[in-house]
Amino acid sequence: MLDTFLEALYNKVFVNIVVKRSSTDVYIEICSKKGAINHYKESFDTTILSHKLLEFINSFTKESPYFYISFLDIAVEQGALPTCEKNRLGFYKDISALEHKCHDKKWTYFTSKVDLYAMEKRYEKIGIDFIFSPYSLLSHFFEDKISTVLAMYVLVQDSFISLAIFDSGQLLYAQHLDMETISEVEDEILASIDVEEEVDLEIEQSINLEDIDVVEDVMQDLDDFGDIEDLDSIEDIDEFSQDKDLEEELADAAEELEEAEELHENSFNEDYQRFSLIQTALSHFYNNEKYESTFIETVYIADGAGVSSDLKHYLEEEMFLNVYLRRMDISMEVCELAKEELNYVT
């Protein structure tokens, strides 16, 4: 009775933390009995509990005794298995060093005990209430599809891909893929890309015809300017200074274009890596006798990393899949799971 009375006096504070490749996202939602009343989001250039990050979290948690700290599991050794029967789990994987939990009495998600312990130690200053599996996130996000549609469902994170195949709510196959440790098989797939196609793509996406016209005009102006030795007036010197400034602007623009091309190339490489990992995982599903194989025509992607259109193109053109993308804010989705865990209805 007293607890209920106290809960009515304070807001609930949901702190949701997503550790990425080189940064950490923190999403905070303040909720009253009537629902969410405010939210805040910050990204920190660290993957540890830095003083600045801790200070940010404490500034909210000190306002209420009812705060909940949630994380997305970042263990490399994690995944999901298509059964909840304990005597069947070992058929798919050795689970002796894993923590595991049954989901909806249909399938099981698991994670490394060692990584789980290390995560709890790393964040002991703030404590951890919930650690959510990417597969819980995926099944919640595509809840409207998974219960009825046979498809492959993919969560794309900054460093990981969590892939699952569901048929009428039943998990058939799952694999958690680490972008940082691509196997020799995936390296061979990456190396086999058509060089001519890659060059064409680079030329097409790095040259703008309008930019060429601008550069030609500038070069024509510079040609018309004449020899520097012919300058003998203040007006000529002023014109020369202006053209020199223009040259500097062009040099800056060229540098920016080079940086943009490098950024695009990195995005291109990462999306091809994601494609090759998905391709390899689907091949494993088809060829491994442990799994109830069926032909997959559709893939739903929860994009939590900001992928380019290249990934969709590869899957459609190379694997003949029907591809649907939904943008996901991972930290906000973690918050929804935390509220659901507490039976908090907004």
Residue 252: the pLDDT is: 60
CA distance readout (Å), 98 to 31, 113, 174, 177, 208: 34, 5, 16, 17, 53
Q: Which two tokens stand for residue 161?
A: 């891909």
Q: Which two tokens stand for residue 41?
A: 């989001």
Of the candidates 85, 75, 137, which has an alpha carbon nearest to the alpha carbon of residue 108? 85
Residue 293: the pLDDT is: 87
The residue ranges of the chain whose pLDDT is under 50 are 184-185, 188-212, 214-215, 218-219, 221-222, 225-232, 259-265, 345-346
pTM, to two decimals = 0.75
Residue 203: the pLDDT is: 37
Q: For residue 98, give every residue at least 6 positions away whose Cβ sits within 8 Å of its Cβ, in sequence order, or none.
A: 77, 110, 111, 112, 113
Residue 121: the pLDDT is: 95
274 touches 307 (CB < 8 A): yes
Q: How far apart are CA 164 and CA 81, in angstroms?
A: 10
The end-to-end CA distance of the chain, in Å, is 22
Cα Rg, the chain, nearest whole Å: 27
The dihedral formed by the CA atoms of 116, 118, 124 and 125, expressed in degrees to the nearest 10:
-130
Indicate the length of the chain as a whole number.
346
17 touches 23 (CB < 8 A): no
Residue 182: the pLDDT is: 59
- Kindly write down the DSSP assignment for every residue of 24-48, as one continuous string: EEEEEEEEETTEEEEEEEEEES-SS
147-164 as b/e: b if 16+ CB within 10 A: eeebbbbbbbbbbbbbbb
91's enclosing H/E stretch is helix 86-92
13 touches 30 (CB < 8 A): yes
Rounded (5°) CA angle 241-245-250: 145
Residue 59: the pLDDT is: 97
Q: What percentage of the chain carries pLDDT values higher than 90?
A: 68
Helix, coil or strand: residue 50: coil
